[in-house]
């Protein structure tokens, strides 16, 4: 048996490749799916089936792409109008090699959500693994608010049934394989520990301590999770079956002048460097989203109707940036800046920079009561746990729609927990005409490390 968990960084998405004998299956493949094909080829296996746990809302599913590459059959749950693949019914079984996979309808996150149990008939008929999609995570359960507040009660009740009546009864010894790890928006409190079993979750998972259905539903209704704008796009794509890429796009590195032409034709510039480098010098008008933040914050801030141009620290990062973008549906990548930002300023093309300040400097400014608008762009919960006195809070993902709350004419000092999200925010402010923007290096983390006061 070959078992490989394939992570998509940033999205904290987990997919699974399971091989037995000459056959393999993939569960919830990502869109850049060559990796599954390569695994299969290396082991002399054929991918026979692709299973989807549900119509995903946070990334583009790779099933049609992988089917194109391998000829494997696609299966997903009933109840919504998928334009591709086959429907699977509760209890349906699939054999590959000496293994057996069985489908288990576990609605709650979505109506058509499926789990899949894996058993090894030679050793015993009970399953030893379960793939729970967005129903059950390590340390959390799936969100139940995707259908809107009217249906949240129904969904939460369904999830309670799925977990307590279908998944947990599989037995404490069953290994848990969820669709997301820590950092995903599909659950609020997923653990960083990636290894668990139903038995461990039964005892330790905070949500599973709400065994009473009403209590569980109440707990879920109180949850307050972000709903990034790109979710709608993902849902639609994943229902229709996303456009086939047939291999990873390989955008061209463009010399500064050609790059500028694409800008003039309407392309957006996304600069994936670290905040200290972006702050030092960047193309006027560019978005500053650090590389690993791209698969998530890209979806928050970038429109889908314009081509994207990339400024990278190293040209070798192109492939990674492209993977991140296509996973959330940004297929139209017009190129990267050849030679990086240095080639741009060597041509005397317009650059901009941010004021990068240390927490010591920020403290001084506050103590000297310098005029400024101090902006905290972290998440709601982080803000609630403590912030710098005098700050205002707008989540980075909501910033561009709330610019009216930020006065023009005085300096804006932005912080997050690290200066990465504040760099995204600062770039948005600059783009929108704010002249004097400061990013606080190290932000809240440095602030605390310096021993400065935090208020609630």
Q: Which residues are catalytic?
A: 416
249 lines the binding site for a copy of itself (CB under 8 A): no
The separation between CA 403 and the C-alpha centre of its own chain, rounded to angstroms, equals 25
325 lines the binding site for a copy of itself (CB under 8 A): no
Nearer to a copy of itself, 192 or 408 (CB): 192
450 lines the binding site for a copy of itself (CB under 8 A): yes
Helix (H/G/I), strand (E/B), else coil: 170: helix
Q: How far is the CB of 42 from a copy of itself (least distance, A)?
A: 9
Question: 293-322 mask for a copy of itself (x: CB under 8 A)?
Answer: --------------------xxx-------
217 lines the binding site for a copy of itself (CB under 8 A): no
Tokens at residue 318, please?
């192109």
7 lines the binding site for a copy of itself (CB under 8 A): no
Stretch that binds a copy of itself, among 24-32, 261-269, 344-352, 408-416 (CB under 8 A): 344-352
The separation between CA 59 and the C-alpha centre of its own chain, rounded to angstroms, equals 7
164 lines the binding site for a copy of itself (CB under 8 A): no
Question: 175-194 mask for a copy of itself (x: CB under 8 A)?
Answer: x---------------xxxx
Nearer to a copy of itself, 202 or 306 (CB): 202
How many residues of this chain interact with a copy of itself, rule: CB under 8 A? 70
- Using only the alpha carbons of the chain, give its radius of gyration: 24
44 lines the binding site for a copy of itself (CB under 8 A): yes
147 lines the binding site for a copy of itself (CB under 8 A): no
348 lines the binding site for a copy of itself (CB under 8 A): yes
Question: 82-121 mask for a copy of itself (x: CB under 8 A)?
Answer: --------------------------------------x-
Using CB under 8 A, pick the residue from 60, 291, 308, 341 that binds a copy of itself: 341
Distance CA 89, CA 246 (A): 30
Contact at 8 Å (CB) between 248 and 319?
Answer: yes
Report the residue count for the chain: 456
447 lines the binding site for a copy of itself (CB under 8 A): yes
The partner residues of 311 in beta bridges, in order of sequence, read 271
Distance CA 237, CA 229 (A): 14
Distance CA 238, CA 5 (A): 22
288 lines the binding site for a copy of itself (CB under 8 A): no
Using CB under 8 A, pick the residue from 29, 178, 279, 288 that binds a copy of itself: 279
Q: How far is the CB of 147 from a copy of itself (least distance, A)?
A: 30
131 lines the binding site for a copy of itself (CB under 8 A): no
Q: How far is the CB of 292 from a copy of itself (least distance, A)?
A: 12
370 lines the binding site for a copy of itself (CB under 8 A): no
Tell me the three-class secondary structure of 268-320, residue by residue.
EEEECCCHHHHHHCEECCCEECCHHHHHHHHHHHCCCCCCEEEECCCHHHHHH
433: left (phi over 0), alpha (psi -120 to 50) or beta: left
172 lines the binding site for a copy of itself (CB under 8 A): yes
Nearer to a copy of itself, 125 or 456 (CB): 125
DSSP label at residue 35: H
Question: Helices (H) and strands (E) in the chain — how many of each?
Answer: 15, 26
The separation between CA 71 and the C-alpha centre of its own chain, rounded to angstroms, equals 28
Instruction: Please report the DSSP string for 360-427 in residue order.
Output: HHHHHHHHTT---EEEE-S-HHHHHT-B-TT-EE--GGGGGG-GGGS-SSS-EEEE-SSSSHHHHHHH
Torsion angle (degrees, nearest 10) of CA 35, 41, 45, 48? 50
Using CB under 8 A, pick the residue from 78, 86, 121, 171 that binds a copy of itself: 171
Using CB under 8 A, pick the residue from 261, 346, 370, 389 that binds a copy of itself: 346
The H or E element that residue 355 is part of is strand 355-357
Q: How far is the CB of 353 from a copy of itself (least distance, A)?
A: 6
DSSP label at residue 346: H
How many CB atoms within 10 Å of residue 357?
Answer: 19
Please report, as ranges, the residues that interact with a copy of itself according to CB under 8 A: 1, 3, 22, 41, 44, 120, 123-124, 126, 128-129, 139, 171-175, 191-204, 253, 255, 273-281, 313-315, 338-342, 345-348, 350-351, 353, 356, 358-360, 418-419, 441-442, 445-447, 449-450
């Amino acid at each position: 048996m070959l078992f490989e968990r394939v992570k998509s960084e940033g999205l904290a998405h987990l997919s699974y490749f399971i091989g037995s004998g000459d056959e393999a299956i993939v569960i919830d493949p990502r869109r850049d799916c060559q990796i599954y094909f390569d695994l299969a080829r290396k082991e002399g296996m054929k991918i026979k089936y692709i299973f989807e746990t549900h119509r995903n809302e946070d990334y583009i599913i790779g099933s049609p792409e992988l089917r194109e590459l391998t000829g494997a059959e696609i299966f997903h749950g009933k109840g919504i109008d998928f334009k591709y693949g086959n429907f699977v019914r509760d209890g349906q079984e699939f054999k590959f090699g000496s293994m057996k996979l069985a489908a288990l309808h576990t609605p709650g996150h979505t109506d058509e959500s499926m789990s899949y149990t894996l058993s090894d008939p030679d050793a015993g008929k009970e399953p030893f693994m379960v793939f729970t999609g967005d129903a059950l995570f390590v340390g959390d359960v799936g969100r139940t608010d995707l259908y809107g507040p009217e249906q949240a009660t129904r969904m939460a009740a369904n999830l309670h049934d799925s977990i307590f009546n279908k998944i947990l009864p599989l037995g404490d010894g069953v290994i848990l394989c969820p669709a997301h790890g820590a950092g995903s928006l599909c659950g609020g409190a997923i653990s960083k520990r990636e290894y668990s079993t139903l038995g461990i979750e039964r005892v330790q998972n905070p949500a599973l301590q709400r065994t009473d259905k009403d209590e569980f539903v109440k707990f879920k209704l109180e949850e307050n999770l972000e709903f990034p704008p790109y979710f709608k796009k993902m849902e639609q794509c994943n229902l229709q079956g996303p456009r086939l890429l047939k291999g990873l796009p390989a955008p061209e590195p463009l010399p500064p002048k050609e790059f500028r032409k694409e800008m003039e034709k309407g392309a957006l510039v996304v600069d994936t460097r670290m905040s200290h480098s972006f702050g030092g010098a960047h193309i006027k008008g560019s978005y500053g989203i650090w590389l690993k933040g791209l698969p998530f914050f890209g979806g928050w801030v970038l429109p889908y109707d314009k081509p994207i141009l990339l400024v990278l620290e190293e040209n070798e990062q192109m492939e990674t940036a492209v993977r991140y973008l296509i996973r959330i549906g940004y297929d139209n990548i017009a190129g990267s800046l050849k030679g990086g930002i240095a080639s741009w300023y060597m041509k005397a093309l317009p650059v901009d920079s941010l004021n990068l300040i240390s927490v010591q400097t920020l403290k001084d400014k506050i103590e000297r009561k310098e005029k400024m608008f101090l902006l905290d762009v972290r998440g709601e919960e982080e803000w609630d746990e403590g912030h710098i006195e005098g700050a205002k809070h707008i989540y980075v993902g909501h910033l561009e729609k709330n610019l009216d709350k930020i006065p023009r004419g005085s300096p804006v000092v932005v912080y997050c927990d690290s200066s990465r999200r504040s760099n995204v925010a600062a770039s948005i402010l600059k783009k929108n005409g704010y002249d004097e923007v400061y990013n606080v290096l190290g932000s809240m983390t440095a602030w605390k490390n310096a021993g400065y006061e935090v208020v609630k």
